[in-house]
Structure 1
Amino acid sequence: MKYVSRFNQMLTIDALFEGGRMFVGATSVTYLLHSGLSLSQIAFLKSVQAMTVLLGEVPTGVLADSMGHKKSLLASSLFAVLGFALYYWGEGFNFFVIAEILTALSLCFWSGAFEAFAIDEAKLEETPGEIDRFFHSNQSLNSVTVLVFGLLGGFLGHLGLALPYLAAIGSYIFMGALLWSIPETAKTQTGSSEYVPWFKNIKKHLKATFTQGLLHPALMPFFIANILIQFTVQPLLHYWQPYFQSLNAQLGTEKQGLIFAAYCATSALFGAIYAKYSAKPFLRSPKITIVLFAVFSALYCLLGLESPWLFAVVVFCLLQGTLSIARTSLGVRMNENIDSSSRASILSSLSLISRLGMVGALYVIGQLVPAQQSAPSLVPLFKYFGFISVGLVVLIVVGSFINQRKKRVIL
């Protein structure tokens, strides 16, 4: 098989994985509501997903190194097929809980394993600059895939709310077949002996996270801000569909698909503009981080107002675009104050810890939203989280103030 073909195969495989989930991106909450679940039950489902990823991300990474990256990816596709099949054919809350666990495990088995598999099997390291080209191409293709698959899912949902799940199943079956056809040639580590250094590394990474990250005055505000971001974005991720339906009861799934595509396109556009001008001194200044999160907070607060749904769509898209570059800017601020020798361990551990914000937000949402099955107005919920986003801006300001006065010293 030619190298170029293998390169494109890897891009296609990841696009199918990302796109498969996006088939239901514009309709999932609407589908669950029509299946008889309440908003508080949906919040619990998302909490189950978050906890599964939180607990399973690192162990599945160890299994991927132990049993082989291809086997890990095949396990991911199998869990995805089973999870979406339960959503399609299953009935009732308990079936959906199992489906959430299975789809979350799919994410865990995919995380990290795909990058390692692609680099080894496409021989990206053999050509200088090929890894950079691959990941740039992968990001660009996935952005298009998310937009297209989400839009298609919205129109499929207009024909039948369960159809996007059937499309997702087809996507993962095709992806699994494509994976199966690729012979694994890379050497993999096997044996239970790999688990001993893993536990030692986890202890070392967590220690570095606390001593050189969370407990360091120059980084603590940014770490807390990162957790708070995970807290504030949960309504934007999981409850935008019933939010817009509460503004316009006649809003169909095809319009939800268009909204989904619009905010994905806005995020991609904002990211491309930011990347093009990121070398400018102003965009590398801590001040731009404060400005971006201030704009994010202001837009979020606008969503907490009763307004025409089209106006809310514009605000929502601008908010998503601003958030995408604000998080990038915050990442720059953190990396400026992390010692290079501990960068990977601190950032990877931060990724796990920040999920606590996700779990906390979903719990709060479960307590705040009404228990009835019909979709009530979610404007008060967005108003509450918009207010919390103001606290996020305060943290960013405090962090930037401390940064300018604290010299980075490894504890």
Structure 2
Amino acid sequence: MNELEKNGQYVKFCAYGFLKSLRFYDAFLLLFFLDQGISFSQMGVLYATREIAVNLCEVPSGIVADTYGRKHALLASFFFYILSFVIFYLSNDFKILFLAMAVYGLADAFRSGTHKGMIMDYLKLNDWEDQKVMYYGHTRSWSQKGAAISALFAGGLVMYAGSYRSVYLFSIVPYLLNFINIMTYPEVLNHSLSKKDRNATKNLFTYAINLFRAVKNRKVFQVINSSAIHTAYLKVIKDYIQPVMLQLAILLPILETMELKKKSGLLIGILYFFIFLMTSYASKMSFKLKRLGTERIPWVTLQVGLVCGALSGVFIYNEWWMLSLLSFILVFVVENLRKPNMTAILSDNVPNKILTSVLSAQSFYRTIVTSFLAILFGFLADLFSIGASLLIISTSIFLFYHLIGGMKLKKL
């Protein structure tokens, strides 16, 4: 097909991404932690807790999704997300935040890779596999639009309430709507095994063997490695853009009579809104990156993202806040240009029936990297500064990737 078929299921896929991204707390998570007296090192532990919870359930959740049904895995995921929002809202110390992050990680584990697998199956059923990058890019762009609306709405909430806590309660509503949306997905995308299969244990074992065979393929692992490193990197550093925005709110000579928390809520909401509009457009246009060639996309985009992050660290260290913000934004844009391409490259090299499990394995690897980087980043930020930590982490990943043989893919 030359144009995307924007039918009912396309709308549901887009709605899923849009509603999933209405996480009103996301734009203020780090500031929420700081407001509760949490140090950067403790934040690193909290982020690592979330990732470790994902690690413990990641691959099994992907296998369960392939075996017993992807819809059921997603429904469980949204239940745990809502539970975590309630715990966050009620939190008043580090221990409760620890529990909230663990539940959130469990939710992430059941969601990760599952929906992408459903999209890829849908394209295969309709013989639209040549449109993988464009189709996934379009649906992901709606996710970024949701994030943009989310930030703007959350900024209004903080400005009105003068508190970061209330955003967690409001986050429950879109997740309930997405729960209903998932229930309407056609059964053909559920991928449950036939009732004729005699026992689930044998099938679980078969999926595990297939997963191992796919991941041990050197070319597949190179894609997983490149994709996971940049995503983990952004996941660790992305919330540290919030103190940069806070500094801009302090310095800007507007609304000087407004309380700082309310002023920062308004400014941060507006800034995130435009950032996610940019990342939405980047995701939509990601198919144009194919001009670089399959063997160059993972390599080039990873280097660009890391260099932008390192520059942002330099600018933060020197208190050049606007330049730091712009460099930070470029890391977001790079991730959304590369992610649809990386997903398509991976799906081209893995049997479709175990794609969800392999995507979960990729997330499993990513969360190991994220856990380590989160703790290290927090420790370095407390020891030196956010800017120094960002520079050290970005440079170290760049060197490490080269040392372990992060070479261009020959040909996939």
Query: Normalised by the shorter chain, which TM-score bucket?
Result: 0.7 to 0.9
Most deviating of 189-198 and 295-304: 189-198
Equivalent residue number for residue 387 of structure 1:
395
Cα shift at 1:296: 3.0
Which residues of structure 2 form unaligned runs of 5+? Answer: 1-5, 251-259
- 2:333 aligned partner: 321
Q: Residues 119 and 393 (structure 1 numbering): CA distance in 2 closer, same or farther, change over 3 Å?
A: closer
The alpha carbon displacement at 1:157 in A equals: 2.4
Aligned-partner residue type, residue 149 of structure 1 = S
| 1:267 paired to 2:269 | no
1:362 aligns with 2:363: no
CA contact (8 A) 1:221 1:395 kept: no
Aligned position for 1:378: 386
TM-score scaled by length of structure 2: 0.75
Q: Which amino acid letter does the alignment assign opposite residue 385 of structure 1? A: I
The CA distance in 1 between the partners of 2:10 and 2:227, in whole Å, is 34
Alignment CA distance shift 1:75-1:252 (3 Å): same
Structure 2 CA distance for partners of 1:196 and 1:290, relative to 1, 3 Å: closer
In structure 2, what is the Cα distance between the partners aligned to 1:220 and 1:112?
A: 16
Identity in percent: 19
Q: Could you say if the C-alpha distance between residues 232 and 242 of structure 1 is closer, same or farther in structure 2, counting changes exceeding 3 Å?
A: same
Equivalence for 2:169: 166
Structure 2 counterpart of 1:49: 50
Alignment of 1:8-407 (within 5 A): 8-9=11-12, 11-16=14-19, 18-21=20-23, 23-65=24-66, 68-114=69-115, 129=128, 135=136, 137-159=138-160, 160-177=163-180, 179=182, 188-189=192-193, 193-210=199-216, 212-213=217-218, 225-226=226-227, 228-230=229-231, 232-245=233-246, 249=250, 252-276=264-288, 278-280=289-291, 283-284=292-293, 291-305=300-314, 306-325=318-337, 344=355, 349-370=361-382, 377-391=385-399, 394=402, 399-400=407-408
Structure 1 residues 20 and 318 mapped into 2: Cα distance closer, same or farther (>3 Å)?
A: closer
Q: Name the stretch that deviates more: 226-235 or 342-351.
A: 342-351
Determine if contact 2:112/2:360 at 8 Å carries over to the other structure: no
Secondary structure of 2:382 counterpart: coil
TM-score (norm 1): 0.76
Structure 1 distance, partners of 2:210, 2:97, is: 37
Q: 1:313: how far off?
A: 1.6
In 1, the alpha carbon distance for the partners of 2:381 and 2:367 equals: 21
One-letter amino acid matched to 2:407: G
Q: 1:359 to 1:89 in 2, by over 3 A?
A: same
Distance 1:335 1:88 in 2: 38
More deviation in 145-154 or 69-78? 69-78
Relative distance call for 1:243 and 1:94 in structure 2 (3 A) is same
> AA paired with 1:19?
S
Over 3 Å counting, the alpha-carbon distance change for 1:33 and 1:69 in structure 2 is: same
- Cα deviation for residue 237 of structure 1 reads 2.2
Q: Alpha-carbon deviations, 1:281-333, whole Å to 9, x = none?
A: xx227567655444333322221221332222222212322344356677788
SS of the aligned residue for 1:20 comes to coil
Instruction: Pick closer, same or farther for the CA change 1:64–1:39 going to 2, 3 Å.
Output: same
Q: 1:254: how far off? A: 2.3
Q: CA RMSD in A?
A: 4.2
Question: Offset of 1:246 from its aligned partner?
Answer: 5.5
Conservation of the 8 A alpha-carbon contact between 2:69 and 2:192: yes
SS state of the match for residue 270, structure 2?
Answer: helix
Report the AA paired with residue 365 of structure 1.
F
Instruction: Assess, with a 3 A threshold, how the Cα gap between structure 1 residues 294 and 72 changes in structure 2: closer, same or farther.
Output: closer
Which runs of no fewer than 5 residues in structure 1 stay unpaired?
A: none
Paired amino acid for 1:154: G
